[in-house]
Structure 1
Amino acid sequence: MPLRRFLPDGFTCALLTTVVLASLWPCRGHAAIAFNGLTDVAIALLFFLHGAKLSREAVVAGMTHWRLHLTVLASTFVLFPLLGLLLRPLLSPLVTHDLYLGVLFLCTLPSTVQSSIAFTSMARGNIPAAICAASASSLLGIVITPLLVGLMLESHGQGGMSWDAIGKIVLQLLVPFAAGQVMQRWIGRWVEQHRGLLRYVDQGSILLVVYTAFSTAVLQGLWKQMPLPVLGGLLLVNAVLLTLALVATRYGSRALGFDRDDEITIVFCGSKKSLASGVPMAKVLFAGHPLGAIVLPIMLFHQIQLMTCAVLARRYAQRGEMVVSSP
C-alpha cells in the first residue's frame, strides 16, 4: 500500500499551518476584533449554504429505512457521549482538564456528511441511506449538540448552558440554516452546481476559527501548559474512542440483523465526528473557555478517522469483490 495514502491531505496541512501561524503571530487587539467579526460572518454563511444544499426530498425518501437511521443517530448522540463519560476516570489523567472537556465536546458532535458518504461509496455500501443518515445527523446536531454540551458541562463541573449561549446558537446557526432551507427552492440547484464554493466556505470558516482560537490560547500560554506527553495522551484518547465506535457499529449492526450494505453505512456514518460543524459550534458554545484546547481534540480526531476509515473502506470493497467473484 503506497505511503502517500497515509499522508495528511491538503486541508490538514492547511490546519497545521494555521496553528503554526497563530503560535508565531497571534492576532491581538483590533486585529483580533476584526478576525472575530469575520469569523462570525463566515460561520453564518456556512450554515446558510448548508441549509440551501440539504435536499429535503432525499431526507424524506431515506426515512423509510428508519431502523438504520435510528442506529446511526444512537451511535452518534448516545454511544459517543456515554463513552466519553464512562471512560473519563481512565482517560482524563492522560490529558489536561480543558483538553478532556474538548473530548467530551467531540463526543456530542454530529456525523460528517461528505466523508461519510464518500467512504460508504468507496466500500460499496448503501449510498442513499448514507446520504439521508449523514444529512439528518448534521441537521439534528444543530439542536442536539448544544443540549448534550450543557449536560456534559454540568458533569464536568463547568455549569450548564446559559440562555445567552442558546440565543447565540439560534441567531448564528439555526437562523442562517433555516434561511438557507427557505431559499433552497431558488438557489439550491446553484449551490449544488457550485459545491466547490461550499467547500471553500467550509474550510475557510474552520481556518478562521482555528486561527482566532489558537491566537487567544497562545497568548494565554497554551503551549507552555501542554507538553508533548499530553499531546501523545490526546492521540491515545482519540484512538480509543474511534476504535470502540468502529467495533460497536460493526458488530452492533450485525447483531441487529442488518445486511452488509447497511452495515457499511452504519459503520461509516455512526463513527464519524464533523470538524466542519464542530469548530464553528465550539466558538459559539464555549465563549469564555480556552477554545484552543476545546477544538484540538476534534482536529486530531478528524485526521485519525480519515486515515483509519480510508483503510477500512478499501478492505470492505476488496471483500465485496471477493464475494461477487466467488462461484
Structure 2
Amino acid sequence: RLSRASLVKLVGGSQLTVVPATAERPPRIVLHRGSLTAHVQPGARRALALTVDTPRGSVRVTGTVFGVDVAAQGAEAARVEVSVLHGSVRVAERDAVRAGQRWRSDGTREALDAAQRARLGRAVTLLDLVGAHNSGQLRIDSEPAGAAVRIDGVLVGRTPLVAALPAGQRTLELSLAGHTPVREFLAVTAAARLSRRYGLAPLPSQAPDKPTPRARAVKVSVEVLRARAQKARAERRWRAAAAAYRQLVQRSPRRAGAARLSLAELELVHLGHPRAALAHFARYLAQHPKGLLAAEALWGKARALRALGRSKAEREALETLVRRFAHAPQVTLARRRLRALPR
C-alpha cells in the first residue's frame, strides 16, 4: 500500500525504487524492470494519485486499474507495455491509454485479450483482499512447507506466510502436490492476530481396480476422477485438472455442482477463459439457486463479468450477492467493488 488510495502488486524479480508521497507530491514508483499491477481508487486527490516512471516514460493516474511491464535492455532499448483494465492513464504526458487497451513503447496499441484481462483481474482481486483498512493478520505454517494458500479462492502465496485479511468470515484453503487439501472457515476481526499450523497428510495410494458390478465401477471411476482433478490442481497442472473436472461435470451435470464451480474457477483464474467460466457459474445458479455454494457462484459470476468488461451485469450480480447472502465471506469484497463501479 503506497497511500490510502493506491495499492500495488509486484511480480517476483521486479526491480524498482519507491519515492514516498509528500505534501506537495503524490507517491512515485521508478520501475527499472519487471511487472506491477496498480489499483488507484477513482476520484483520488492529486496527493493520493500515483506516478510510475519507466525507462521510456511516465504513467500518471488518478483512478484506474492498470499494469506496467518493463523488459530491461538498457534505458534506450527497454521495452515497456502498459495495460489498462478500468479507467484511463496518460503515458509520457501525451498518449492516453483507455480501459481495455494495451500500449507499447514502440507506439503500437491493441485491445486486451481475455487472458490479459484475467491476469489484471486476478491481481486486483488479491489487492482488494489484502489491502483492506479494517483487517486482521493471519500467520500460516504447514508441514511440509510450500503449500499454496488461498483466501476466499484467491491465491495469496505459499507457506510459511503472514497475510492481512479483511474483517469477516473467510475461507482458507491449503493445497500441496501429493497431499490432502485443507479447508477451514475463519472468523476474522479487525486487529486480530491469528495463527494456524497444518500437518498435510499424504494422499492415499490408489489400489488397482477390481472387477465389480457396473454401479460400483461407475462410483470408483467418479472417485478416481475427483482424486485426479484434486491432485492435478495441487500440482498446478491447471489444464489436466480442468479436463478431469470437465469429465465429472459431463458424467453428472446436475449432481456435480462443486466440480462445476472448481472448473469455473480454473477457467477464470488460471486458463484465462472468463466466458467459459461465466457459463459454468450461471449453469450452477440455474440448477441450484439456493445451493450451498450459490454465494460462491455469484461471486465467481461477478468476477467473470468483470474480466469481460460487462460492468452493468457485474453490478447486478454483486447486488444480488449482497442482497441474498449478507453474511457470506465474499460480501465485504462485493461491497467494496460496488463502491468502485460507475453507476
- Normalising by the smaller structure, the TM-score range is under 0.3
Hey, which of these two has a bigger chunk of helix by percent? 1
In the superposition, the TM-score normalised over structure 2's length comes to 0.22
Hey, which of these two has a bigger chunk of strand by percent? 2
Structure with bigger RCO (C-alpha 8 Å, 6+ apart): 1
In the superposition, the TM-score normalised over structure 1's length comes to 0.23
